[in-house]
Structure 1
Amino acid sequence: MTDLAEHVAARDAWARSARGPLALVNAQHVDRPQPVWPVAGQWAPAPGGLTVTAAVSDGVVVDGVPVDGTVLVAGDTAVVPSTVAFADGLAGTVHGRTIDGQVLRVWDPASDAVSRFARIARFGPSPEGWVTTGRYEPRSGLEAPGHLTDAAGDALPIAGTITTTLDGVTVRLTAVRSAPFHGRPRLQLIVQDGTSALPEDDPGSSYSMGRFLYLDEPDGAADVTLDWEWLVLPPCAFSYQYACPVPPEENRIPVSVTAGERHPVDTTGAVLH
């Protein structure tokens, strides 16, 4: 496993990267011909992605070729997704979402949020530590509620439950199956706890909508270790362009987990988003 210090540095670098959450300035669902802010071209749904109609003077470049007319922009489910470049260093990607349209994501590596960002604020280390053991029990046939989604708003399948004890309180948490990481299947806990509050209401808060904890998915029922220092912010903590999952009732932990990430902050320490 990556060292925690390396993980912290990698998370800060990810947040400010050209495809990091602070660079996403628009995620527009395109279900009919329409313009998309703040880029050029007329965009429309098409099998496998979107089409863009533009003139050479608009400065839209798809797969390395300037657009002069109408071309297909292949979505991220294609064998070879398209790359899109715009004027002023902006870039675009197409996310395959529904049969009635797809989402054009517009990335600005010099966005205001990227410029203002300093770091991801974290809770300080605890002398007692925040590591618990738990029991994972896989479940089949459970339908995920509509509020359990990934950052694009796509449903995450329920994998099972994890029972653990935090600060003397036993909880049975719903675990969803996240996208594989480095080729390994992962479980994801979407949780709120006693620190989940607006910063103006509680200076010692973490992001009000909750945080994520990832762990490798066992092959079946198994004991697992939960290191709560690895709690991370969801992408929606950085940009309103992301969907924000709502933790299920059973994942609203009735204790304050003072570990892991709290908020993205600027150079003054003020909460960025």
Structure 2
Amino acid sequence: MSFVDDWRAWHASRERYAGAEYGPSALESTNWLITEPAAVDGVPGLWALTGDGGIRGTELGVSGRTVTLRGTETMRFGRRELRVFDRNGTVALRVFNPARPQRVHFSAIDAYPPRESWRLPAVFEPTPDERIVITAVDGVEHESVVAGRLHFELDGNPQTLTVTRGSQGGLGAVFGDATNGVETYRFRFLPIEEPSAEGTAWVDFNRAYLPPCAFSDQFVCPLPPLGNRYTASIRAGERAVILGA
């Protein structure tokens, strides 16, 4: 498969994911609960934290039944789906609704044409003992272990990219550049292929993708750390969500 065909297949899979019935565009609300039962818009009953990482719903229907959700368990009322969201030990109830207008009218993800010139060679410097403070879009901060830094050149200028390792493995970064808020969303995510044993790697900005909060403001995405905010314009990867009529 050619470079362009490979990118097109990736982009098509991203659009399928974004517009899926219970994909990111369907997130209707993120509800930060306490131990006192409270109503949640769009779903029956009263909802509260169990105190051990779960969420309990009470007074559900005429029988007044009770349910408890933990981990990856889900529950549906009509077409709405309830999921547990755990952010570093703080638990919320998320409601996904396929009828949310932003999902119903999702059309595509606008992106720059793929160009091999945006696939840049890099050198990986592991930093296993380093931690940085990550700030989310809602202002909440938490510490994260830094997997390392990638050193590369952009328009002839030396740059670094701070990367972390996901819970399921694989490296990733959050970055900003001069196109944000003008040509692209306010920041973007970037997956990084695993570096070689010798430390060689690639920074492929063609695979820069929109964070979940581009599809719903109910996500709490991490913002780029200071070192990952570039003054240059990176015209590669995904740009913005396109909504149809």
Q: TM-score, normalised by structure 2?
A: 0.88
Question: Mean alpha-carbon deviation: is it higher for 228-237 or for 214-223?
Answer: 214-223
Aligned position for 1:91: 81
State the partner residue of 1:37.
41
Number of the residue aligned with 2:172: 188
Q: Does 2:7 correspond to 1:11? A: no
Amino acid corresponding to residue 42 of structure 1 in structure 2 = L
Paired with 2:20 and 2:141, the residues of 1 have a C-alpha distance of 22
Kindly indicate whether the alpha-carbon contact (under 8 Å) linking 2:131 and 2:143 is maintained by their aligned counterparts in 1. no
2:70 equivalent to 1:74: yes
Which residue of structure 1 lines up, in the alignment, with residue 220 of structure 2? 243
SS at structure 2 position matched to 1:129: helix
* Equivalent pair of 1:193/1:257 in contact (CA under 8 Å): yes
- Structure 1 unmatched runs, 5+: 58-66, 77-81, 269-273
Residues paired across the two proteins, number: 238
Q: Secondary structure at the match of 1:179?
A: coil
Per-residue deviation, 1:179: 3.4
Please tell me the residue identity of whatever aligns with 1:40. Answer: P
Q: Between the two proteins, what is the percent identity of the paired residues? A: 31
Alpha-carbon distance between aligned partners in 2 of 1:233 and 1:172, rounded to the nearest angstrom: 21
1:140 and 1:217 mapped to 2: Cα distance?
Answer: 15
- What does 1:250-265 correspond to in 2, within 5 Å? 250-265=227-242
Contact kept? 1:138, 1:220, Cα under 8 Å: no
User: In structure 2, what is the equivalent of residue 64 of structure 1?
Assistant: none
108, 114, 118: which one pairs with 2:103? Answer: 114
Q: Is the 8 A contact 1:25 1:241 kept in 2?
A: yes
Q: 2:184 aligns with which of 200, 203, 206?
A: 206
Return the letter of the residue paired with 1:94: V
Amino acid at match of 2:14: R
Aligned to 1:178: 166
Instruction: Answer yes or no: is 1:145 the counterpart of 2:145.
Output: no
Give the CA deviation at 1:172. Answer: 1.3
Aligned-pair distance for 1:219? 7.1
Return 15-24 or 152-161, whichever deviates more.
Answer: 152-161
Letter in 2 for 1:262: R
Q: Could you say what secondary structure the match of 1:239 adopts?
A: coil
Cα separation, 1, equivalents of 2:144 and 2:194: 14
Q: Measured at CA, do residues 40 and 221 of structure 1 come closer, stay the same or move farther in structure 2, by a change above 3 Å? A: farther
Aligned CA distance change for structure 1 residues 119 and 27 (closer, same or farther; 3 Å): same
| TM superposition score normalised by structure 1 | 0.79
Equivalent residues of 1:49, 1:96 under 8 A apart: no
Cα displacement (A) at 1:266: 1.4
One-letter code aligned to 1:216 = E
Note the alpha carbon deviations across 1:250-269, whole angstroms, 9 max, x for none: 1112211111000001127x
Write out per-residue CA displacement over residues 111-137 of structure 1, whole angstroms, 9 at most, x where no aligned residue.
Answer: 1001111100001344x6311000111
Q: CA deviation at 1:148?
A: 6.4
**Counterpart contact for 1:236–1:243, Cα < 8 Å:** yes
Structure 2 runs not aligned, ≥5 long: none
Measured against aligned partners, the alpha-carbon deviations of 1:185-227 in whole angstroms (never above 9, x if no partner) come to 2111211112112xxxx3xx1112x111102334766110122
**Cα drift, residue 155 of structure 1:** 5.5
> Distance in 2 between the 1:221 and 1:120 partners?
36
For the 8 Å contact 2:34–2:49, the answer to whether it is kept is yes
User: Secondary structure of 1:85's partner?
Assistant: strand
Question: 1:14: Cα distance to partner?
Answer: 0.6
Matched, 1:130 2:130: no
Give the alignment's Cα RMSD to 1 decimal. Answer: 2.4
